[in-house]
Amino acid sequence: MIRRTLLAVSLSALAFASTAMAADRPLRIGYVFAMANAPALIADKQGFYREEGLDVDLKALGDGPVIQQALAAGELDVAYVGTPPVYQWYSRGLKSTILAKVNYGQAAVLVGQDSPITQLQQLKGKKLAGVKKGSGMDVLLRGLVLRDQAGLDPEHDLDIVDMPPGNMNAALERGIVDAAFTWEPFISQALARGSAKVLLDVNQAAPKYPWYVVIALPKTLQERPDDVVKLLRAHRKAIDFLNQHPAEANRIIADAFHLDPVLGPNGQSVSGEQIVAQARTRLGWSAELGPNDIQFIQRLMNDSHSLGFMQASMTPAELVDTSYLEKASR
> What are the tens digits of pLDDT across the range 84-116?
989 999 998 889 999 999 999 999 999 999 999
Predicted pLDDT at 233: 98
Last residue of a domain, one of 188, 205, 222: 205
Task: Give 190-222 pLDDT, tens digit per residue.
Answer: 999 999 999 999 999 999 999 999 999 999 999
Answer whether residue 62 shows pLDDT above 90. no
Phi-psi region of 65 (alpha: psi -120 to 50; beta: other; left: phi over 0): alpha
Assigned domain for 271 exists: no
Task: Give 237-271 pLDDT, tens digit per residue.
Answer: 999 999 999 999 999 999 999 999 999 988 899 99
Assigned domain for 279 exists: no
Predicted pLDDT at 317: 93
Assigned domain for 264 exists: no
Predicted pLDDT at 23: 61
Assigned domain for 56 exists: yes
Last residue of a domain, one of 186, 205, 224: 205
DSSP, res 158: S
pLDDT band of residue 4 (cuts 50, 70, 90) is low
Check residues 266 and 127 and name the one with the higher pLDDT: 127
Assigned domain for 274 exists: no
Q: What is d(CA 84, CA 77) in angstroms, rounded to the nearest whole number?
A: 19
Assigned domain for 199 exists: yes
Answer whether residue 139 shows pLDDT above 60. yes
Answer whether residue 15 shows pLDDT above 70. no
Assigned domain for 275 exists: no
Task: Give 293-320 pLDDT, tens digit per residue.
Answer: 999 999 999 999 999 999 888 999 999 9
Answer whether residue 20 shows pLDDT above 60. no
Q: What's the one-letter identity of residue 159?
A: D
Say whether both 243 and 320 belong to one domain. Answer: yes
> Which ranges in the chain belong to alpha helices (H)?
2-24, 38-45, 48-51, 64-72, 83-91, 136-140, 165-173, 186-193, 202-205, 218-223, 225-244, 246-256, 272-279, 291-306, 323-328
Of 133, 136, 169, 172, the closest CA to residue 154 belongs to 133
pLDDT band of residue 82 (cuts 50, 70, 90) is very high
Residue 163 belongs to domain spanning: 107-205
- What domain count does the chain have? 2
Say whether both 60 and 198 belong to one domain. Answer: no
Say whether both 75 and 38 belong to one domain. Answer: yes
pLDDT band of residue 21 (cuts 50, 70, 90) is low
Say whether both 155 and 7 belong to one domain. Answer: no
Last residue of a domain, one of 189, 205, 221: 205
Burial of 264 (0-12, 13-18, 19+ CB in 10 A): middle
Say whether both 169 and 235 belong to one domain. Answer: no
Say whether both 179 and 245 belong to one domain. Answer: no
Please provide residue 46's backbone torsions phi and psi, each rounded to the nearest 5 degrees.
-90, 0
Assigned domain for 176 exists: yes
Predicted pLDDT at 146: 98
CATH code of the domain containing 232: 3.40.190.10
pLDDT band of residue 5 (cuts 50, 70, 90) is low
Say whether both 235 and 292 belong to one domain. Answer: yes
Say whether both 228 and 322 belong to one domain. Answer: yes
Looking at every residue in the chain, the average pLDDT score rounds to: 91
Q: What is d(CA 45, CA 266) in angstroms, rounded to the nearest whole number?
A: 35
Say whether both 21 and 60 belong to one domain. Answer: yes
Q: What is d(CA 26, CA 274) in angstroms, rounded to the nearest whole number?
A: 35
Say whether both 96 and 125 belong to one domain. Answer: no
Say whether both 32 and 135 belong to one domain. Answer: no
Predicted pLDDT at 11: 41
Say whether both 124 and 252 belong to one domain. Answer: no
